Each structure stands twice: as structure tokens, then as C-alpha cells.
Amino acid sequence: MRTLPGGQRFYWPYLAILLAKTRDQVSAFFVAAWQAIGLPHVLQVDNDNVWRGSSSAPYTFSFLVRLWPLLGVQVIFIPPYTPQANTWIESFNHLWDRNFWQRTRFQSLEEVQQNLPYFQTYCRERRLLPGTEMTPQECRSTRPAPLPLPDDSNQHRQKRLPLTEGFLHFIRFVDAHGNISFLNASWPLGPQWAGKTVRATLDTKQGVVTVFYQATRDSKPQSIAEFSFPIREEVYPVAERFRRPVPSIWLEVVLVDHKVSTMC
């Protein structure tokens, strides 16, 4: 998904059929996709186990959570059990279902594979963007080309990946006790924040989680809490070929005085 000046968004899909949602198949898909269409600055995902890994071990990083920052990609995890928060993906899934799966009664996986490139081409080069007279291909030609992932990239074939400097963002609902949870750990914000939606950003280089609250869509976010995050392994810099300016994906933050708490 790309954004044009003025906020117009458009899809640039890369489609493939996976027979199983395993770590190996999903990581290979990301590598193949980014070799074909270039690396994003930001990736937004839900909280499926294939992304986040273990459901019990706290402060651990899954293979995919290691893969993305290794390639210079920031990650945003939407709130659990809220697919509506991933509106871009859900909107495209609806388009894919209506214009691909419901239009043809496929008789085999081979037939699906044969027809998928035609639908992908339709989405990229023929379908007009809502409210415009332009296709995604025409819109994409006005934007700088994204950094391609080299053809020899094989990070997805490694048994274990190092932890790399980067940012992981977690959009979370504060529970009735004033806590938020991610990476199998709970973080206390206080009962005054119960029922609110916040964003927690983990800076793996600094080993610090900063929590932000934005009262309205147009107001500036406030930093409301900060916690140390126990990382018990070496954190490596991003490789030179994947270094890019860190994009400003959030509004300017209003700094609020608060103490750093330690979570062990």
C-alpha cells in the first residue's frame, strides 16, 4: 500500500498462494514480494502467532519480528481481535474475494495459480482508484522507486536471525486494571488510562518502551509512560544496504515528564 501527496492511498499488491501458514513459507513470501516490488518503510500486521511467535515466553522475538527490522522495516501490530483496524488489508481482501474467488469456480490449485497473475495485473494496471482517473501503475510512476531487496537475499533460509536495531509499534487497548500487554508481558499504565487506546513503541537499540496517547485524530500524541525492556542478547545495527531515513509515521509528540520503570 502506497500513499500519494495529499494522503491518497493505493494498493500495489503482490499475490501468492501459500499451502500452509508456517514460518518458512511466510518468510519466503515476504522475501519474494520485496524482491519483486521493493521494501516498505512500515509493515502493519495483526497478532497472529506466525508473526509474533511464542504465546507464553515473555520478551522474546519471533523469526519474522527479527526478519523485518533486519531489512530496515518498522512494524505496527494492530490491537488483538480487531480486523477492522487493518482496513487497507480487509478492503483489498473484499476486492479479491469479489473479483477473483467468486467469479470463477476453480477446479484445482494449478488453475488458481494460472489465473492469479491476471488478477494481480488488473489490480495494478487496469483498475481505477476510487475518486480518480488513475490506475495504481500510473500513481506509482509519480513516486520514488522503493529500495529493492537484492535477488541473493536468503535471510528467510537461516535457522535463527540476530536482533537488529529498529522500532516495533503495538496499538493496544488498556484493560480495566490499567494494563497493556504485548510480547507476552504486561505493562502497568494506571487505572486512569483504563478503556483508552494507546501506542507502545519498542526501540530495540535503546531497550526502551515508550507509550503514547492521542486523545483525538487531530491532537498531538503525548508520551505517557516509559519502561525499560530487558533484551538479553546483542542488538546489531541495520546493514548498510538496508539503511534508510526513518520515516515520520506518527504525528509530532508532546513530551511529558515521567519516570522510567524497570520490567524484569
The predicted structure's pLDDT at residue 196 = 96
Residue corresponding to grid cell 515466553: 57
The predicted structure's pLDDT at residue 261 = 45
User: By the 8 A CB rule, do 155 and 28 touch?
Assistant: no
The predicted structure's pLDDT at residue 141 = 85
The predicted structure's pLDDT at residue 10 = 64
The predicted structure's pLDDT at residue 56 = 76
* Average pLDDT per consecutive 10 residues, the chain (264 residues; last block may be shorter): 52 90 94 94 90 82 95 94 84 91 94 96 90 86 87 91 96 97 94 96 96 90 94 95 82 57 40
The b-or-e profile of 49-65 (16+ CB within 10 A means b, else e) is ebbbbeeeeeeebbbbb
Q: Is 103 exposed, middle or buried (0-12, 13-18, 19+ CB in 10 A)?
A: exposed
For residue 55, what is its C-alpha cell?
Answer: 504465546
User: By the 8 A CB rule, do 242 and 72 touch?
Assistant: yes
Question: E-strand spans in the chain?
Answer: 2-3, 9-10, 42-45, 74-77, 163-164, 167-173, 179-182, 185-188, 197-203, 208-213, 222-228, 235-236, 260-262
